[in-house]
Structure 1
Amino acid sequence: MATNTEIPTLDDDGMIPAYVAEPEGNPRGAIIVQQEIFGVDEGIRRKADQWAAKGYLAVAPDTFWRQQPGIELSPYDEGEFQQAVGFMMKHDFDLGIRDIEAVIHWIRREKHVEKVGLVGFCMGGRVAYMAAARTDIDASVGYYGVMIDQMLNEKHAIARPLMLHIPTEDHFVDAAAQKAIHEGLDDHPKVTLHDYPGLDHGFAAEIGARRDEAGAQLADSRTEAFFAAHIG
Structure 2
Amino acid sequence: MTETADITTFAGDDHFSAYVARPAKTAKAAIVVIQEIFGVNAGIRRKCDLLAEQGYLAVAPDLFWQLERGVELDPDIEPEFNRALDLMGKFDADQGVSDIEATIKWARSETGGGKVGAVGYCLGGKLAYMTACRTDSDATVGYYAVGVDEMLGEAKAIANPLMLHIPVEDHFVDKDAQAAMHEGLDDHPKVTLHDYPGLDHGFATQFGERRDDEGAKLADSRTDAFFQQHLG
1:168-197: per-residue Cα shift (whole Å, max 9, x none)?
000000101000000110111000000000
Which residue matches 1:229?
229
1: distance between equivalents of 2:6 and 2:203? 30
1:35-62: per-residue Cα shift (whole Å, max 9, x none)?
1000100000000000000000000001
Question: What TM-score do you get using the length of structure 1 for normalisation?
Answer: 0.97
Task: Give aligned pairs, total.
Answer: 231
Structure 1 window deviating more from structure 2 (61-70 vs 75-84): it is: 75-84
Alignment of structure 1 residues 76-225 onto 2, 5 Å: 76-225=76-225
1: distance between equivalents of 2:228 and 2:4? 26
1:73-111: per-residue Cα shift (whole Å, max 9, x none)?
121222211111111111111111111111111111244
Shift of 1:13: 1.4
Structure 1 window deviating more from structure 2 (193-202 vs 87-96): it is: 87-96
2: distance between equivalents of 1:74 and 1:41? 8
2: distance between equivalents of 1:155 and 1:11? 25
Shift of 1:114: 1.5
SS in 1 for 2:112: coil
SS in 2 for 1:4: strand
| Aligned residues of 2:31 and 2:59 also touching (Cα < 8 A) | yes
Structure 1 window deviating more from structure 2 (78-87 vs 127-136): it is: 78-87
Shift of 1:221: 0.3
| Aligned residues of 1:3 and 1:17 also touching (Cα < 8 A) | no
| Aligned residues of 2:30 and 2:108 also touching (Cα < 8 A) | no
Which residue matches 1:47?
47
Could you tell me which runs of 5 or more consecutive residues in structure 2 were left unpaired when the two chains were aligned: none
> Which 4+ runs in 1 deviate beyond 3 A?
none
SS in 1 for 2:217: helix
Alignment of structure 1 residues 17-32 onto 2, 5 Å: 17-32=17-32
SS in 1 for 2:151: helix
Question: What TM-score do you get using the length of structure 2 for normalisation?
Answer: 0.97
| Aligned residues of 2:3 and 2:21 also touching (Cα < 8 A) | no
1: distance between equivalents of 2:179 and 2:3? 38
RMSD between aligned residues = 1.1
1:109-131: per-residue Cα shift (whole Å, max 9, x none)?
24425200100000000011000
| Aligned residues of 2:6 and 2:15 also touching (Cα < 8 A) | yes
Change in Cα spacing, 1:25 to 1:18, as seen in structure 2 (3 Å) is same
2: distance between equivalents of 1:22 and 1:74? 25
Structure 1 window deviating more from structure 2 (108-117 vs 123-132): it is: 108-117
Which residue matches 2:13?
13
Structure 1 window deviating more from structure 2 (202-211 vs 78-87): it is: 78-87
Percent pairwise identity: 61
